[in-house]
Amino acid sequence: MNEIIICVGSSCHLKGSEKIIEIFKKEIEKNQLQEIKISGSFCQGNCTAGVNIEIDGQKIAAVTEENARGIFKKYLLDDQNE
Amino acid sequence: MGLVFEEFYRSIPKAGEEVCGDSVEIIKKGNKTIVVLSDGLGSGIKANILSTLTAKIASGLLEKELPLKEILSTILATLPVCEVRGIAYATLVFLIIDQNQQLRLIEIDSPSAFLFRNKQVQKLDYREFELEGKKIREANFKFQRQDQLFLVSDGVTHAGIGGLLNFGLGWEGVACEIERVVKRSQTDLKNNINKLVKVFNTFYGDQAGDDFTIIGMKYRRKRKLNIWSGPPLKKENDSLLARKISEAEGKKIISGGTTAQIAARELNRDLEVGFKYYDRDIPPISKMDGIELLTEGLLTLNRVLSMLKKYKPGQIPVEGKDGASRFTRLLLESDSVKFLVGRAVNESHQSLNLPINLGIRSQIISQIAEQLRRIKKKVEIEWF
């Protein structure tokens, strides 16, 4: 079971967390991943480097619309292929 | 617990028109409420201007508390009169209710009011007299705790005319509909107004043949709302604030992610962070036991402020499921609002190049308070 947590605090929101959520949801659907829990979190105390997310307990900063798919692939898809 | 006089209205323009020819003005002054309804002849912009003029003149004079007879003469003399038809361009109804629940209602060329009392709608006892060549109806009575009063423009009594019904609903027909709707649920006035508007619209086949307005009024208990936004400057006040909000009387809102985290920690309660966007610009709402609403902070507060600025007394509070709409609704449904405001600043917000200034919580809350005072809410702010 993988877990994605995305910060929806004010500044991450302004930096686009809503779009990141959309992208991740789409990727989950597209790749037909069943065992993934995706949820929101409040400020993780790292606003300057937003959008902040967490995948399986690992903190990842500076997620953007552009790199979100790559991050998703790196952390959640390669895992499966092994 | 005290009582408060509440009133809601909706005005629907004739099908195809952009603006409504009916105007409503509601003024709260001390313990007095003044309600004015005017229906401009015809529809569209011309009717809108005429009824607005009439309603504004009337409410302005009434607010100055001149003798009623003087007010009436002035209004009747100033009401624009159609040269061809020789009648006033706009109708007028107004009422004043004071702190002793004594209600005085004056109607000129308008359908009689509907009083819902003891589970049925009845007509008021009127005294008729003539002034400046106009027939005027006046009613004086003590408004009881469970009473509800409805005023309508003639677009309501005419609903269905020439279509579903030959002559429209008429006073009796409207009375019947009001009685049916209000009897079913006597507490939620704004919902009843919404339902009645739907009913009248249906009689018109969803194509209103005339502007129509309905205003509902009743007493209800006063409601309190408590809001905590922002972490305190001194960390040792965290627990004090958490206790204050948790022990406060009335409904509760926490606004701000960090604030919510402090509350969850201090009160030892679970915090369920929301994930659902109803509005792209407003971050999702979260959940915690004992707190009616948990929103994000400054973006939400900014939106709340802009919604309050647009609000006119008596309107039905905004729709919408996003945090800011819910927040605004709770504010509008309350009579006294208490803010607990923490002034700690999120350091990282300061160094960001964000499209809006996030470092101004105290200013935004002061402006929200100002808007609430404008619509006669009691506001108290404690800074920490």
Residue range B92-103: mean pLDDT, rounded: 92
pLDDT band at B1 (very low <50, low <70, confident <90, very high): low
Band the pLDDT of B82: cuts 50, 70, 90: low
- Cβ-contact A43, A54 below 8 angstroms: no
**Global confidence as pTM:** 0.81
Centre a 10 Å sphere on the Cβ of residue A49 and count the other Cβ atoms it contains: 15
**Domains in chain A: boundaries:** 2-81
Write the residue in A14, A18, A40 that is nearest to B354 by C-beta. Answer: A14
Task: Report how far Cα B348 is from the mean position of its chain's Cα atoms.
Answer: 39
- Predicted confidence at residue B70, as pLDDT, reads 86
Inform me whether the C-beta atom of residue A39 falls under 8 Å from chain B C-beta atoms: yes
Find the angle CA(B130)-CA(B132)-CA(B135) to the nearest 5 degrees: 35
For the segment(s) A2-81, the CATH number from 3.90.1150.10, 3.20.20.120, 3.30.200.20, 3.40.30.10 is 3.40.30.10
Q: The complex's ipTM?
A: 0.73
| Nearest-Cα residue of chain B relative to residue A13 | B283
How distant is the Cα of A39 from the closest Cα of chain B, in angstroms? 6
What pLDDT is recorded for position B353? 58
How many Cβ pairs closer than 8 A exist between chain A and B? 67
Among A24, A17, A71, A65, residue whose Cα is nearest residue B257: A17
- List pLDDT tens digits, range A25-64: 999 888 888 888 888 888 888 888 889 999 988 999 999 9
CB proximity B2 to A under 8 Å:
no
- Is the distance from CB of A8 to CB of B296 less than 8 angstroms? yes
Cα separation, B328 vs B305, whole angstroms: 8
Q: Give the DSSP H or E segment for B120.
A: strand B120-122
Give the residue from A17, A63, A65 showing the smallest Cα distance to A41.
Answer: A17
SS3 of B249-315: the string is CCEEEEECHHHHHHHHHHHCCCCECCCCCCCCCCCCCEEECCEEEEECCHHHHHHHHHHHHHCCCCE
pLDDT over 80 (residue B147): yes
Tens digits of residue pLDDT in B148-165: 999 999 999 988 876 777
Rounded mean pLDDT, B359-368: 86
Average pLDDT over residues B320-329: 95
Pair of tokens at residue B234? 């001194």
Res. B137 pLDDT band, cuts 50 70 90: very high
Which has the minimum average pLDDT: B49-63, B75-89, B200-214?
B75-89
B15 φ, ψ (degrees, to nearest 5): -55, 130
Tell me the CB-side half-sphere exposure of residue B149, using CA atoms within 13 A: 27
B346, B350, B361, best to mutate vs chain A, most A CBs in 10 Å: B346
Find, in chain A, the residue whose alpha carbon is nearest to that of B294: A42
Nearest CA distance, A79 vs chain B (angstrom): 25
Highest mean pLDDT of the ranges B44-53, B201-210, B321-330: B321-330
Domains within chain B, CATH numbers bracketed? 3-221 (3.60.40.10), 224-383 (no CATH)
Q: What are the tens digits of pLDDT across the range B161-180?
A: 767 776 788 899 999 999 99
If you average pLDDT over residues B316-339, what whole number do you get?
A: 93
Asked if the Cβ–Cβ distance from A8 to B297 is below 8 Å, we say no
Task: Copy the structure tokens of residue B362.
Answer: 């105290």
Judged against a pLDDT cut of 50, whether residue A82 lies above it is answered with: no
Q: Output the 3-class SS for B121-133.
A: EECCCCEEEEECC
Amino acid B352: pLDDT:
58
Pairwise CA distance, residues B48 & B39, whole Å: 8
